[in-house]
Amino acid sequence: MIQIAITDDHTIVIEGIKTMLKSNKEIEVVQSFENLKDTFEQLTPSVEILLLDINLPDGNGITACKELLEKHKDLKIIALTNFEDSLIIKQILKNGAMGYLLKNTSKSELTEAIKEVYKGNRYLPKNISDLLLNESIGLENSNYFIPKLTSREKEILALIIKEYTTEEMANELFVSTKTVESHRSNLIQKLGVKNSAGLVRVAFEKGLA
């Protein structure tokens, strides 16, 4: 029996996957999480495959993929997302994911992906493979991954782009400098960058500016 876990912030997605796999005698969903914090704290060593959403409220699955694999050496991860973006696919595969599935996947494809990854093989649906092939021959893909930002995070990002200092942002938004730094830290995590300069670059790349 292949033991799997699911991390997705939409309960309907988790329940949908559980329903699809319910009658399967070879695969069992033993854990499910709605955020990265719980995944890191509660994922058990018995879980062999994790279906990991890329866009989560407390961070992105691309960065988390690498960190989870450092913590759980034998874990295999399949990215679960709505985004057909070659940049995202390459990033998460580079970070150790063994598969990439879209949330509208069929029962048969989901089962096949889990079994292939369990055997140690990489799994990419045909449309994802075609996407990477098209890019390699020069055909562009425009569906960019946009992380979920709170309204306050959007305000902070806008002020960072305007080169406001932490103190200036705190005064502008009537919050403490500690609160500003907390939001900046969340933005850095969600957008997968290292500093404010990276935030500005990614904000323009993704049309958030």
Claim to verify: residue 123 and residue 68 sit in the same structural domain = yes
Claim to verify: residue 172 and residue 126 sit in the same structural domain = no
Handedness of CA 189, 193, 197, 202 (dihedral sign): negative
Claim to verify: residue 128 and residue 168 sit in the same structural domain = no
- CATH of residue 173's domain is 1.10.10.10
- pLDDT score for 57: 87
**Pairwise CA distance, residues 62 & 69, whole Å:** 11
Q: Is the pTM above the cut of 0.85? A: no
Q: What is the mean pLDDT of residues 165-189?
A: 93
pLDDT greater than 90 at residue 189: no
Total domains in the fold of the chain: 2
pLDDT tens per residue, range 92-134:
999 999 999 998 899 999 999 999 999 999 999 888 887 777 7
pLDDT tens per residue, range 17-55:
999 999 999 999 999 999 999 999 999 999 999 999 988
Average pLDDT, the chain: 89
- pLDDT score for 2: 96
Instruction: Tell me which DSSP letter residue 34 carries.
Output: S
If pLDDT is split at 50, 70 and 90, which confidence band does 143 have? very low
| C-alpha distances out from residue 2 to 25, 65, 114, Å | 9, 20, 8
Is-contact 190 157, C-beta < 8 A? no
Residue-range definition of the domain harbouring residue 173: 151-205
The answer to whether residue 143 sits within a structural domain is no
Claim to verify: residue 116 and residue 179 sit in the same structural domain = no
pLDDT greater than 60 at residue 144: no
Beta strands in the chain (DSSP E): 2-7, 27-33, 49-53, 55-56, 59-60, 76-81, 99-102
